[in-house]
């Protein structure tokens, strides 16, 4: 099984596992050994699933403002964890292909393998929830048909992205492409680069 196909299977199983409780405060049971890339893929998708539902909760028009602020800060932490985990996956690929000598004329991709896999993780959540709309018993026929059309697009997108990722990894392994990773270097979470934070520390 190719890497993107394996990722899809892990992501889908993780999304279903999350919805066993459908609770953002559930502690997940990662079925994979710590230190493996599978463990990271599971953890990555779990973070995405929790954040997906936090984004739903914070949009409640009746939400208490204090609760909303707490959730917003939780989402900010989640975004940082998500970025860190994607970079951990890219480190895995950098190590995996460290001995590959690029061929003359080898090119770089527009995004790293891990950021493309991040999109697969989000697609798993989109597909799960769009399918739920298709089968929603209280939805109108028009709503169901609209969501069914969107679901078809999402499934096609996952198929295309899966093929593109596995092609990219094959090209890197063969030296036709090479990896170059730019770390995100987000500034707003860093007390040394966010002017509001470092001004508050004076």
How confident is the model at residue 2, as a pLDDT? 96
Compute mean pLDDT per 10 residues along the chain, 202 residues long, and list them. Answer: 96 97 96 97 98 96 96 94 94 96 94 96 98 96 97 98 97 94 67 67 65
Contact 125, 51 (CB under 8 A): no
Helices (H) and strands (E) in the chain — how many of each?
Answer: 6, 2
Report the predicted TM-score, pTM, of the whole model to 2 decimal places.
0.90
The H-or-E segment that residue 178 falls in is strand 177-178
User: If DSSP codes are grouped into helix, strand and coil, which group holds residue 3?
Assistant: helix
Report how far residue 61's alpha carbon sits from residue 85's, in angstroms, rounded to the nearest whole number.
32
pLDDT at residue 189 in the model: 65
What is the CB-side half-sphere exposure of residue 132 using CA atoms within 13 A?
Answer: 9
**In whole angstroms, what is the distance from residue 76 CA to residue 5 CA?**
30
Beta bridge partners of 177: 107
C-alpha angle 64-139-49 in degrees, rounded to nearest 5:
50
Say if residues 164 and 8 touch (Cβ distance below 8 Å). Answer: no
- Annotate 94-127 with b (16+ C-beta within 10 A) or e (fewer): eebbeebebeeeeeebeebbbbbbbebbbbbbbb
Question: What pLDDT, on a 0 to 100 scale, did the predictor assign at position 121?
Answer: 98
What pLDDT score was predicted for residue 154? 98
The Cα–Cα gap between 167 and 136 comes to 36
Cα separation values, 74 from 57, 77, 87, 127, 140, Å: 12, 5, 20, 24, 35
């Amino acid at each position: 099984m190719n890497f993107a196909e394996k990722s899809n299977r892990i992501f889908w199983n993780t999304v279903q596992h999350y919805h066993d409780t459908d609770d953002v405060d559930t502690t997940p049971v990662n079925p994979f050994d710590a230190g493996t890339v599978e463990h990271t893929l599971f953890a990555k998708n779990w973070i995405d699933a929790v954040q997906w539902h936090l984004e739903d909760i914070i949009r409640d028009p009746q939400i208490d403002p204090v609760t909303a602020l707490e959730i917003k800060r939780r989402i900010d932490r989640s975004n940082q964890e998500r970025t860190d985990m994607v970079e951990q996956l890219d480190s895995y690929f950098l190590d995996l292909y460290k001995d590959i000598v690029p061929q003359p004329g080898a090119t770089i991709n527009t995004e790293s393998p891990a950021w493309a896999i991040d999109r697969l993780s989000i697609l798993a959540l989109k597909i799960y929830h769009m399918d739920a709309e298709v089968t929603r018993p209280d939805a109108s026929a028009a709503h169901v048909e609209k969501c069914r059309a969107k679901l078809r697009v999402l499934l096609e997108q996952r198929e295309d992205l899966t093929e593109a990722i596995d092609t990219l990894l094959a090209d890197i392994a063969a030296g036709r492409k090479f990896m170059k990773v730019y770390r995100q270097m987000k500034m707003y979470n860093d007390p040394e680069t966010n002017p509001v934070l470092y001004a508050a520390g004076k």
